[in-house]
């Protein structure tokens, strides 16, 4: 199963909004509402930020939001802050493919 495609890097200034895309196929993202997003700071374990395409776990800032259209899911970070600088990974679950992660995106706060 091939990894989902994400841009290698996205950057923005403090206070701005950025969007990270995650592109798959009809066999994974397109056919699943089980899309999740993870934040990973250097040397740390990943942290769940979004599940079920657009749901936030308790404790995750409402500056993080998720959506999906066709075979592409997106993570938007609004009001960008220095602490948001990290790597972000999408993931999709489908019964036929189980779990597939995205290639990862490095977010830089300028």
Residue ranges in contact with other proteins by CB under 8 A: 1, 3, 33-34, 36, 38, 45-48, 51-52, 55, 57, 89, 91, 93, 98-104
CB of 61 to other proteins, least distance (A): 16
CB of 35 to other proteins, least distance (A): 9
Do the strands 9-12 and 72-77 form a parallel or antiparallel pair, or are they unpaired? unpaired
Nearer to other proteins, 85 or 87 (CB): 87
- Residue 64 parent element (H or E): strand 64-69
Nearer to other proteins, 24 or 110 (CB): 24
User: Among candidates 49, 40, 48, 51, which has minimal Cα distance to 87?
Assistant: 40
Nearer to other proteins, 18 or 49 (CB): 49
What residues contact residue 50 under an 8 Å CB cut-off, 6+ apart?
35, 36, 37, 56, 60, 64, 65, 66, 75
CB of 81 to other proteins, least distance (A): 22
CB of 110 to other proteins, least distance (A): 23
Torsion angle of the four alpha carbons 58, 63, 68, 72, in this order, in degrees rounded to the nearest 10: -120
């Amino acid at each position: 199963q091939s990894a989902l495609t994400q841009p290698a890097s996205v950057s923005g200034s403090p206070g701005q909004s950025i969007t990270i895309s995650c592109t798959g196929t009809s066999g994974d993202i397109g056919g699943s509402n089980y899309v999740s997003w993870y934040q990973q700071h250097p040397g740390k374990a990943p942290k769940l930020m979004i599940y079920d395409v657009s749901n936030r776990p308790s404790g995750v800032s409402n500056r993080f939001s998720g959506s999906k259209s066709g075979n592409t899911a997106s993570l938007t970070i609004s009001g960008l802050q220095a602490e948001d600088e990290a790597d972000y990974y999408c993931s999709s679950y489908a019964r036929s493919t189980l779990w597939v992660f995205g290639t990862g995106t490095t977010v830089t706060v300028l």
